[in-house]
Amino acid sequence: MQAIQCKNHPDVQAMDRCTGCAETFCANCLVNIGGQKYCGSCKVLAVSGRPIVEQATIPSAMASDALKYALIGIICFPIILQPMAIYKAVQAKKEIAADPQLTGEGKANAALVIGIVTLSLWLLAIFARVANA
């Protein structure tokens, strides 16, 4: 069985293929970027293309959680879930402000509004009940 040679070094056995151009290269020629192997020339493309692809595509898990708690909290245990939703929404807004790649400010704002409104209505209902008793 014939050994596959590195495209750059004909006397060196190739270790793997480049993800970009599918040519074979030795360990010295390949670089690992995000778990993928690239040769010298494809590496430049992979590195320069990567940040654009990843930008603004990471939804904030904190914002999603905040909205989830706020929505469930309209029906179930608002006294527990709404403060959690408000807390998580505030944290999410901080997280999003600090990291431009994170998205979900709309969710965080929605969770904040739902949290404050639901909690206010719920507290009003309790006060009304206490006042009437």
Choose between 15 and 71: whose C-beta lies nearer to Zn ion: 15
Choose between 19 and 60: whose C-beta lies nearer to Zn ion: 19
We find the least distance from the C-beta atom of residue 44 to Zn ion, in angstroms, to be 10
Residue ranges that bind Zn ion, judged by CB under 5 A = 6, 8-9, 18, 20-21, 26, 29, 39, 42
We find the least distance from the C-beta atom of residue 12 to Zn ion, in angstroms, to be 5
Element (H, E) at 84: helix 78-98
DSSP letter for 123, please: H
Q: How far apart are CA 41 and CA 62, in angstroms?
A: 39
Choose between 45 and 58: whose C-beta lies nearer to Zn ion: 45
We find the least distance from the C-beta atom of residue 93 to Zn ion, in angstroms, to be 42
We find the least distance from the C-beta atom of residue 49 to Zn ion, in angstroms, to be 13
Choose between 35 and 100: whose C-beta lies nearer to Zn ion: 35
Question: Backbone phi, then psi, for 62, in 5-degree steps?
Answer: -65, -40
